[in-house]
Amino acid sequence: MKSVNHHNSLTQVLLKSFAFLLVFLLSFSVHSQDVDEARQKEGKKLFKSLCASCHKLDKKLVGPALSGVEERREHEWLQKWIRNNAELRASGDADAIAVFEEFNGSSMTAFPQLTDKNIDDILYYTTVGEVKKAGDVAAATADASSSKDGGPKWLIYILAAAIIVAFLIIGSLLKTISELKGAPKTPGLLGQTADLWQGIKQNTFLHVLAVIFGALVTAYFLFGTLFKVGVDQGYQPIQPITFSHKIHAGDNKIECQYCHSAAKHSKHSGIPSVNVCMNCHKNISEVADDTKVVLEEGGVVLTKPDLDKEIAKIYEAAGWDTDKLAYTGNTKPVKWVRVHNLPDFAYFNHSQHVTVAGVKCQKCHGPVEEMEEVYQYSPLTMGWCVDCHKATKVDLKGNEYYAKIHAELAKKYGVDQVTIAQLGGKECGKCHY
């Protein structure tokens, strides 16, 4: 993260105390409502599992927004409605029929299994809403202030120092030699440096050394530079929708292959089509209040209003009318930017690795569940592929295909388990055709 590091402890102290103050104030405001947390928690749990697919607290979804519903309706009526709304409608209740018609005749599921207490808890939750936890904010602040590890810079300093010392020793040696040969002793530090410089200038051996050293350094950097041409490790393009894998795969623990469902069947992992997004986002039109996405670029922090706009982009692509809650048919495909680009002459097949070998996605793609924006984690060079093929042992018990081949090869190489390379995974033609 490229967030600003805090240079002195004073600012840190100031910030931390400010954060504490903030937390204190917030918790005070929440606590002032005097919420029965146990009931709220119970109600929230039930709401999330039973109601959330059609209702939100503060927004119309398939059904109406439920925040403060207790103020609008009779408690009795609500109980009846929630238990079995069809029955209520059948009994000729005018309000029930009105609600039913307002939402285009989509009937709500009946919940006869709910006890009175359950319903009360749910309704309690719709009334008090979310409770802000004091710890969250403080943790976030603390996170931001953690600093980054430095690289092994001391090594470079030591090397530089060693070179300087070596030069000084050579200089003094040269001087001693010239003195021994009978040259007059040169006085003063300035004179000594001049002599040293003179000595260096006249010494052919040093010239040769310098040239060799120069050539090596140039070669090293040139080679390093050229080798990186086309290697896009760390490539992190700006996507048309700021999609956070952290929120989806990390926080919400959605399986990778729920969206990238082609990975187990095909050479491509498949970028999910918009209808896959809509499986969930039909109901999730906005993020939770405290959701945050911290972008790496300049430490930009996206908060709820920004992120809700991102979700709206899905609706635009899918042609989903959020007011009418219907598809308009006016679709607009999302033009994602490809992060992992293999050259055409390299053939890679996801299903071979995912289905057959059972390789975890993270092995090549890195900790995607922690990435706010996806970047290319691995170098995707041939050396990187081959290294893994050389090191990885094939464990495919129970796969009939390998039964014979594996046994024979294991015997041939005198090992228990053969590596992919021994199985032929290092041949040019296996990936280049």
Partner 1 sequence: MASNKKYWQSVEELKEGSVVETLRNNEFVEEIPTDEFLGDKETLETSSTSRRDFLKYVGFSTAAASLAACEGPVRKSIPYVVQPDNIVVGVADWYATTIADGFDFANVLVKTREGRPIQIMPNKEIGGVTNARTQASVLSLYDSNLRLKEPRKGTTQISWADADKEIIAELERLNAANESVVLLTGSLASPSTDKVIADFIAKYPNVKHVVYDAVSESGTADAFEAMYGTRALPNYDFSKAEVIASIGADILGDWQGGYEKSYAEGRKPELGKMSYHVQIESNMSLAGANADKRIVAKPSDQVYALINLYNTVTGANMPSKATAHDAEIKKLATSLQKAGNKGVVVTGLNDKNAQLIALAINKALNSEVIDVVNVNNTRQGNDTEVAQLLKDLSSGKVKGLVTYNVNPNYSLTGFADAAKKASLSVAISTQDDATATAMQYALPAPHNLESWGDVSASANTYGLMQPTISPIFNTRQIQDVLLKWSGSSVNYYDILKEFWSTNVLNGASWNQALHDGFFKKELESVVTVNDIDINTAAATLVKNTTPSQYELNLYTSTALGDGKQANNPWLQELPDPITRASWDNYLTVSMADAKELGFDNPVKDNGAIDGNYANVTVNGVTINNIPVMVQPGQAKGSFGLALGYGRTQGLKEEMQVGVNAYPFYANGNSIQYNVSIEKASGWHKFACTQVQKTIAGRNDILKEATLKEVLNKKLDPKHTWNKPAMVSYDHQEVEAKTIDLWDEHNREIGHHFNLSIDLTSCTGCGACVVACHAENNVPVVGKHEVRVGRDMHWLRIDRYYSSEVNEKQVEASMTIEEFKAQNPNIANQEVERKYAEKILELGGGDLFAALETSAENPQVAFQPMMCQHCNHAPCETVCPVAATSHGRQGQNQMAYNRCVGTRYCANNCPYRVRRFNWFNYSDNSEFDFNMNNDYGKMVLNPDVVVRSRGVMEKCSMCIQMTQATILKAKKEGRAVKKDEFKTACSEACSTGAMVFGDVNNTEDKVTQLKEDNRAYHVLDYIGTKPNVVYQVKVRNTNEA
List of residues contacting partner 1 (CB under 8 A)? 229-230, 232, 235, 237, 262, 265-268, 270-276, 317-319, 331-338, 341, 343-347, 349, 351-352, 355-356, 398-405, 408-409, 412, 424, 427-430, 432-433
Task: State in angstroms the smallest separation of the CB of 318 from partner 1.
Answer: 6
Nearer CB in complex with partner 1: 307/394: 394
Task: State in angstroms the smallest separation of the CB of 325 from partner 1.
Answer: 17
d(CA 334, CA 246): 20
Nearer CB in complex with partner 1: 181/397: 397
Nearer CB in complex with partner 1: 154/401: 401
d(CA 212, CA 139): 54
Given a contact cutoff of 8 angstroms between Cβ atoms, the answer to whether 341 and 230 are in contact is no
* C-alpha distances in Å from residue 31, one per residue of 27, 39, 77, 195: 6, 15, 31, 80
Task: State in angstroms the smallest separation of the CB of 360 from partner 1.
Answer: 18
Task: State in angstroms the smallest separation of the CB of 68 from partner 1.
Answer: 37
Nearer CB in complex with partner 1: 182/224: 224
The two three-digit tokens of residue 220, written as one number: 């090293």
Nearer CB in complex with partner 1: 237/366: 237
Return the ∠ at Cα 244 (arms to 243 and 246), rounded to 5°: 160
Nearer CB in complex with partner 1: 77/413: 413
Task: State in angstroms the smallest separation of the CB of 291 from partner 1.
Answer: 25
Task: State in angstroms the smallest separation of the CB of 401 from partner 1.
Answer: 5
Nearer CB in complex with partner 1: 192/257: 257
The two three-digit tokens of residue 209, written as one number: 């050394």
Nearer CB in complex with partner 1: 111/327: 327
Nearer CB in complex with partner 1: 360/430: 430
Helix (H) / strand (E) containing 302: strand 301-302
d(CA 344, CA 54): 46
Q: According to DSSP H, which parts of 32-152 are helical? A: 37-46, 69-72, 75-83, 85-90, 94-102, 116-128, 134-145
Given a contact cutoff of 8 angstroms between Cβ atoms, the answer to whether 55 and 64 are in contact is yes
d(CA 113, CA 121): 14
Task: State in angstroms the smallest separation of the CB of 275 from partner 1.
Answer: 4
Using CB atoms within 10 A of its CB, is residue 74 exposed (0-12), middle (13-18) or buried (19+)?
exposed
The two three-digit tokens of residue 374, written as one number: 């996806």
Task: State in angstroms the smallest separation of the CB of 237 from partner 1.
Answer: 7
Task: State in angstroms the smallest separation of the CB of 337 from partner 1.
Answer: 6
Residues 3-10: contacts with CB under 8 Å, at least 24 apart: 3/144, 3/294, 3/299, 4/299, 5/147, 5/148, 6/145, 6/147
d(CA 262, CA 347): 16
Given a contact cutoff of 8 angstroms between Cβ atoms, the answer to whether 264 and 354 are in contact is yes
